[in-house]
Each structure stands twice: as C-alpha cells, then as structure tokens.
C-alpha cells in the first residue's frame, strides 16, 4: 500500500511585543502611518523581548500543536528545524528542542539554514523521510527573529520583518495519490550580498567588545555591517524574474493553473505580492495574503498564511494549493499541496 506525506496540523506563535505603524511613524517622521501601510501592506509586527529566542517561539508553537492534535510526543520520529536565528553556533537548536519538548530519544533532529523558501524545502525533506519509509511523523518547525539583526534606524527593513515560529505536522497517510507533490527548487548565490548580515560569522567575525561603525545610505537608512542589509530593488528584480519561471515549471499537460484552487506565496510585502499576482494573472480571491498582522516572517510566512486561511474556511479538505517560497540566498522553491 502506498504511503504518502500529508500535512495534518499547523500552529504558530507570535511574540507578545508589538511594533505598530504608529510607533514607526514616530521614529521615522518622514513616513506617516498611511505611507508605511501603503508601501508594505503591514499594520503591525511582533518582536521578541529581551532574552527571548526563536526557539522559545518554536517551543510554544509546538505546545499548541500537541494540545490541539491527537498525536503524542513519542510518535514524532523526526524534528526538522528551519532557522537563520539559532540559539547557538553549536549545538543544533533542533536537539535542544527535542529535549525541551520531551520527544523520544529515537527522534531524529536537525537544523537547516534557509530563509524565505525554507517552508517549501522543509516540506520536501519531510516528504522524502516519510515516503522513503524512514519516518512516519515529522515535526517541521520554522522560526525566525530577524529583529535581532535589524538596526532600529533602518526603516527599509524595520517596517517589513516580524518575528514568529510555526509548527507543521506532516504524517504518513495511505492516500491514493501524493498530497505533497511537484517540488521544484532553485538557487543563485550570486545574489547573496543583496540580503545579508555581513558580519558575525566565520567570514567576517565580530571582535569582542567592538561594534562596527554605522553608516547612512542614500535613503537615510542607518546600519552597520553587523546589521541586516537588503537591496530592495535587486530583491524585487530577482522576484519578478525567478518566481514567474518557477511558477510556470509547476504546471504541464497533466496539471494546469486552473487545477489549483488557491495560491500561497511567501508573504514578503503587499507591493511585491500584488506585482507577482498581476504578472501571473491570478484571481485575487484565489491568492492568499495574510501578513497585515505580523509582517514578513520569513520561513514562517507560508504556514502562518495557511493557518489563517484554514481558520477562515478558504482551505478545506480536497483543496489544491500551489505554494511558492523565494528570497534570501537567493533561493526559491515551489510545490503543490493537496489538502
């Protein structure tokens, strides 16, 4: 009997601390509340408190999942943790979460460093583990705290990114056809410098007790080389080029755009998503957008959007969803989810 991987549950967690447009407008008087919303489509972002980490959010998202699903902790045989905000350089945060969540010691646990396409990559990994017979129940966790890397005087990124974690349960199922299908991936490291924290790792280590000098760009944003830098125009050009090509590769004579009931893309910002929707000629009612309340949450954005769409009744059993992630790396990935 065939065994296919299937998404069974999604839960997510946002930090309690809120950064709203009113606060940002006070910090950046040249941008009022309405201008910030028009540029981003975001009303507020959630930001971790002092001492709070991505794995703290991940833990709480998983606790929600266990509380709201029928699966027991000892049934999880693989924990996949997608983050660019690890607790430590080593060990892997996944191992720490395995212990903290009281999962079985027979549970595989590992991190992978991926950003905006991370959820798609994680689904592909989970599918591989399950459909090869290595695992039956995979807990895919995505968690990010980009706020730790953002200079508070850099409105180009501070207005966009929020912190979050999402926990997705993927289980083996005796379905008649794949529920996670048509995976496509791509990468182009030539664009690595366009979304990057230049200093802090092995290539450019930070010297203890020394903070790199801040500098101001032509738009008035202030940051240092230890802060997140985003080349907005380059990221937009990348997205307008790579995403349509990736999207087209998901379809053929056996599966057309019309066969997909819904489309969920990485929730980057309103301007980019609307440009992509128009470029791809997708109907607004089929195009999921759920980021006004949390901002761009990187690898968490697609599962958060799916969870919100589930709550609104947009995602129901039998629905076919085309999912696309893209961004930092450059990296991109897409797949089809049969709910």
Read off the pLDDT of residues 270-295 as tens digits, 9 standing for 90 and up: 999 999 999 999 999 999 999 999 99
Over residues 85-103, the pLDDT tens digits come to: 999 999 999 999 999 999 9
Average pLDDT, the chain: 96
Over residues 122-178, the pLDDT tens digits come to: 999 999 999 999 999 999 999 999 999 999 999 999 999 999 999 999 999 988 889
Distances (CA, A) of 333 to 27, 116, 193, 195, 202: 36, 9, 20, 17, 27
Whether the pLDDT of residue 209 is over 80: the answer is no
Nearest Cα residue to 304 out of 178, 94, 163: 163
pLDDT, average across residues 329-336:
98
Whether the pLDDT of residue 42 is over 90: the answer is yes
Domain range list for the chain: 4-173, 180-338
Over residues 251-272, the pLDDT tens digits come to: 999 999 999 999 999 999 999 9
pLDDT, average across residues 173-202:
95
Q: 4-173 and 180-338 share one CATH topology?
A: yes
Edge-first strand listing for the sheet containing 320-327: 180-187, 331-338, 320-327, 262-265, 287-288
pTM over 0.95? The answer is: yes
Q: How confident is the model at residue 200 (pLDDT cuts 50, 70, 90)?
A: very high
pLDDT, average across residues 114-124:
98
Which residue in 21, 194, 296, 335 is the catalytic one?
296
Nearest Cα residue to 273 out of 302, 307, 313: 302
Which residue in 62, 82, 116, 179 is the catalytic one?
116
Q: How confident is the model at residue 207 (pLDDT cuts 50, 70, 90)?
A: confident
Q: Picking from 11-25, 206-220, 289-303, which range would have the lowest pLDDT averaged per residue?
A: 206-220
Distances (CA, A) of 21 to 44, 144, 145, 270: 6, 21, 19, 15
Identify whether the C-beta of residue 250 lies closer than 8 Å to the C-beta of residue 334: yes
Catalytic status, residue 106: no
Whether the pLDDT of residue 245 is over 90: the answer is yes
Whether the pLDDT of residue 1 is over 60: the answer is no
CA 89, distance to chain mean position in Å, is 21
Catalytic status, residue 43: no
Domain 4-173 coded CATH 3.40.190.10: no
Q: Picking from 53-57, 207-211, 297-301, which range would have the lowest pLDDT averaged per residue?
A: 207-211
- Count of beta carbons in the 10 Å neighbourhood of residue 267: 28
Fold of 180-338: Peroxisomal Thiolase; Chain A, domain 1 (3.40.47)
CA 154, distance to chain mean position in Å, is 22
Which residue in 137, 266, 294, 300 is the catalytic one?
266
Whether the pLDDT of residue 2 is over 70: the answer is no
- Count of beta carbons in the 10 Å neighbourhood of residue 322: 23
């Amino acid at each position: 009997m065939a065994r296919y991987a299937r998404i069974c549950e999604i839960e997510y967690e946002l930090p309690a601390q809120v950064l709203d447009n009113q606060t940002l407008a006070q910090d950046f008087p040249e941008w009022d509340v309405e201008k910030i919303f028009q540029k981003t489509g975001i009303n507020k972002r959630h930001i971790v408190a002092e001492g709070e980490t991505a794995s703290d959010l991940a833990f709480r998202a998983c606790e929600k999942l266990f509380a709201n699903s029928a699966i027991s902790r000892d049934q999880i045989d693989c924990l996949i943790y997608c983050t660019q905000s690890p607790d430590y350089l080593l060990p892997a945060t996944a191992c720490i979460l395995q212990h903290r969540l009281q999962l079985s010691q027979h549970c595989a646990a590992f991190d992978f460093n991926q950003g905006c396409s991370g959820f798609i990559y994680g689904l592909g990994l989970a599918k591989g583990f399950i459909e090869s017979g290595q695992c039956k129940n995979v807990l895919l966790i995505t968690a990010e705290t980009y706020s730790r890397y953002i200079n508070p005087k850099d409105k180009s990124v501070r207005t966009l990114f929020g912190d979050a974690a999402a926990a997705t349960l993927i289980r083996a199922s005796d379905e008649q056809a794949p529920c996670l299908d048509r995976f496509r991936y791509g990468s182009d490291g030539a664009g690595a410098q366009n979304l990057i924290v230049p200093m802090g790792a092995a290539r450019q280590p930070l010297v203890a007790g020394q903070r790199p000098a801040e500098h101001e760009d032509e738009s008035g944003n202030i940051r240092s080389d230890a802060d997140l830098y985003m080349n907005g125009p380059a990221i937009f050009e990348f997205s307008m080029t790579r995403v349509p090509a990736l999207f087209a590769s998901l379809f053929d004579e056996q599966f057309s755009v019309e066969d997909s009931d819904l489309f969920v893309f990485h929730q980057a910002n309103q301007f980019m998503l609307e440009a992509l929707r128009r470029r791809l000629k997708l109907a607004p009612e089929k195009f999921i957008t759920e980021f006004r309340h949390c901002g761009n949450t990187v690898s968490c954005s697609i599962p958060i959007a799916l969870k919100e769409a589930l709550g609104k009744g947009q995602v129901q059993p039998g629905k076919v969803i085309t999912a696309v992630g893209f961004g930092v790396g450059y990296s991109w990935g897409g797949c089809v989810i049969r709910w």
